[in-house]
Chains A and B, each alone.
Chain A
Amino acid sequence: MDERQAELTSVLEELKADPSFMSCVTRWEKIPPRPGEYRDFPSDLNPLLREALLGRGIQRLYSHQARAYEAVKEGKNLVVVTPTASGKTLCYNLPILQHLLSRPNDRALYLFPTKALSQDQQAELNALVQTGLPLRVSTYDGDTPQSLRISAREKGRIVISNPDMFHGGILPNHPKWIKFLSSLAFVVIDEIHIYRGVFGSHMINLIRRLKRVLSFYNCRPVFICCSATIGNPAELARRILEEEVLLIDTNGAPAGEKHIILYNPPLVDQVQGIRRGLTTEAQRIALKFLKRKIKTIIFARSRIRTELIASYINQSLANYYNNNRGIRVESYRGGYLPSERREIERGLREGEIQGVVSTNALELGIDIGGLDVSILSGFPSSIASAWQQAGRSGRQAGLSASFLIASSAPVDQYLAAHPDYFFSRSPEDAYVDPDNIYLLMDHLKCAVFELPFKEGDSFGRGSAEGLALLEEEGVVRRTAGRWYWSDRSYPAEQISLRSLASENVIIIDRTLGKDEVIGEMDKRSAKELIFDDAVYLHRGEQYQVQKLDLDSLKCYVIRSEVNFYTDGLVKSDLHVLKEDLAAEKSGLSLILGDVLVRSQVTKYKKLKFHSGENIGYGDIYLPEDEMHTRGLLLVMDPRLTAGRIFRDFSPPEQQIIISRLGGLVKTAALLFILCDRRDIGLSERLKDPHTGFPTLYFYDNQPGGTGLCEGLLEHLPQALRAARELPEGCPCEAGCPSCIGAPDPGDPESNPKGVLKRFLAAWIGEA
């Protein structure tokens, strides 16, 4: 450890002394060590529990653990926000074990978003409980053998499960769980930040169902949530639980000195804004540390990148004579067998593995021990996850470092150019939609199945209308003032919490008579990417689509070697179905409401590799898609600032502004809203038939909406300010893929960036 620390210090000093490396560093931030804040064990702590803690080497608590203990004792719902390795699980384990020891009938439910986390928690609790606490901890998930299920529900004082099992297995069979549910004192929801978007909106409904069933058993548990650092943890917890929640976010755990280095790879082509590749840069930096046996984790943004970086590193280290100097580097991602994953996690913990290249799969709280260096090759999809990943290196005492390597994507370039932004502002807010009508209706079915509804029973924003619809559908019967489930099906079976539409297209390689599955893609993306004759790139290989069969959800491809790739052109058509809110804000007129999005891929472009030159078009014949969702309209009403300024630009300039502004605002919005780029749809209209003015339509890309449009409305002023700064900070001349997109190849003389900058300066400067 000391030796590794000395090595780390010296590598960092070497880097600092290297001018070519330093020329790419846009910020080298040194976070000083922080002492811990400790509290003695509470005076009422059960002696058995005290022994168990002492036995594990814990002699006192961190301040946040002590606060959580007190708050739970007072019966308050909590959300605890603390970084990695700060003793988070003790925040719930301690008060819960204390309570369960003195009340031998009470029970607790722990929900984790993945089975891997459940297993981790079971192991951690076992280590505590096996010191002599008379409590049984049981895991109940899809992997639990039938023989252990009964004992889990009859005897498990703490049952560890996941939302999917809770939804499909436990709630619909709640009478079997009467013993457990009627004495449920605590519900723990760990990693609550994962429950955003569709998953989060499902979670809200799941909690509503849980509470209905529990009220039948006269039971009101305390909820304890834990979250990674996001912008609005308390708000998210409050929305999911629909109850008051106390926020504990002051961390009492000590931390060693940490260096955070923002690194923007050198420009290779100034005009087009092309930078040196991420993969190479990540590998180069990682090797500097790995060769000195410093434990390093590299995060890559895709599964393929993960494999690539790991293999490059291993190639560089390969040496038969010294067995790669005893340095072992593994890759880690979804799609590996659970046993393979456990093996790598253990290897990291026990020190047999020095390096790991991972997707965000290792971002969650799986225990892999302390690492010295983390390298993020490309900013993850959010600042929140950047901090999570950077937090993977770091210890309670001693030095650690994190490198954040910017890709050429606009958000990355923005953060590299505005490091203050990264360091000073809080991470994005997570959004959920408690009123997504599709999810509400789905869960309403499950809820009626679980218990009949009485007149006046609530479920979300009201249940009577929803029940009336279900009655009309014939699955619910209303009689004598109650609604009863009246269908032979088991509704939970038809609902997956992880998505709204779970249809995937299987991609099959038929080269030379093969019949091999090489991948999958969701149906919507498939229409845009793997239509007939499309060129499809998969793990570095080129394929051409023979046939996309949407009925059987299969896509047949063969290997090809053409010199172009294809890009589907999506034509979308939007209608406002219902305006919920009209407002004036930031010099715009805004409309929030329900929209109908019809989209169809009708044509594709053939683009030459490398130059991106357009060498022709092709037709696509696919059925149109229709989706009801939430939309936010940004209307350039000439009576307000933005519209007035817009009106004064020439028509060709107006064209440039309207076609590029939306993408820019969307990019900027991603700095504030926790979601993926493709979660927000966009459509631009120079003259919109609904509003009569130039209008940008932002819509939620999930049927029914997941709260993103509401989030965008809330953060619009900040997003517009960031949108203004984004092109300012980019070194390109007339626009590049890293800011507002490259200039139109058909009109190389135009300077879209200049036009947009002028427009934004006039508008946002004035707003």
Chain B
Amino acid sequence: MSTRKIPLSRRQFIASTALGAAAAATGTIAMPSVLRAAGTPVKIGVLQPVTGPLSYSGTQGQLGAMLAIEEINAAGGIKALGGAQLDPMVGDAQSTPAGGTAEVEKMNAAGVSCIVGGYASGICLATTQAAARYDLPYVVDVGVADNIMTRGLKNTFRFGPGFGVIANAAIDNLIAINDAAGKAAKTVMIVHEDSLFGAGLAKLLNAKLPEKGFQVLETIAHPTPTRDFNTIVLKIKAQNPDLVIPANYYNEYVLLARTMQQQHVKPKGIYSVLGGAASSYKFVKEFPEAANGIMDCNHWFNPLSDKAQALKKKVEAKGQFFTYEVYLNYASIGLVADALERAASADRAKLIEALASSTWAGHIMPYGPTKFVDGQNQGAAPCGTQVQGNDIKVILPAKFADAKPKFPIT
């Protein structure tokens, strides 16, 4: 067991010592690589919140991970391990950090080589820490909170971008789009949900936008769930901003967009950051009118990648939407498989080394070859997207764009 620098609460201490003893008792299972024969399946933990409030995202993430595992196995498994198959161990984080931690303990006891997933920042913070106790490699699929990666956990890797990178890209993109449109937007209103994600973003926007010549008329916080957006929309209507910036989850986003349509509120643009619905094919399909023209800065696949397009077709053929949970998990499993090939071992320490030195380029995300510094993939970045003609197009960065921004829309 590694020594941990994080202060322990009484409860965590009791849990860790009790489970540490259990892990010692099952030591042979926890370090199976010594005895592993060529071709022995490699166990991979697929940890998602498949029940509770995050169940939709969790189910989508699980789908992405399982598709990647199926494809890798069908293509002959891990060749450096004599064609070893990936053996997924599915776990349910129950949409809570405690639920996620319990699954990590189970997966560790079952001898997985690596865990992929977590989804929410709160869950990832807890699960990465639990996995660190066993030097168990952990790839965060989504969890954007910056402090997931800044605690010095050697086992923790994140393929996708963190919050700070996304927020900065969002602001840069917005300025680029607005400048190209002759500074059409001068006033903005921010509507955000009041937890870490929305409130953190609102704070950042409030700090940076005035420097760039925007006037923030009002910042409105709302809880999740919010049943009714009429009052908020009335406020927007009264102030009549050029630009509305929402930062909230899917359900609230849908209600906000619909209420704006009902109340005939049409700003020059809606620009969301990690918008719950703005880069969701489901939203576009169900509310084409409300969605049209909405811009977003969010996780997005590389639209120019044939592999990504093929995966999109495959997911849609299953009757599911191609959401970011799907492709981020798909890519994260690919990252692990690539590391397993180079490590030529399912040993946890060797796998951590291989992940840390990863230069994987054959993936579906617009990140370029991987390069990890303290576990964070340096090339990871979000895309600027816009709903155009009932489809979602990438408008920025130009290198991956398949459409030009349309702004202002009214």
Chain B associates with chain A: no
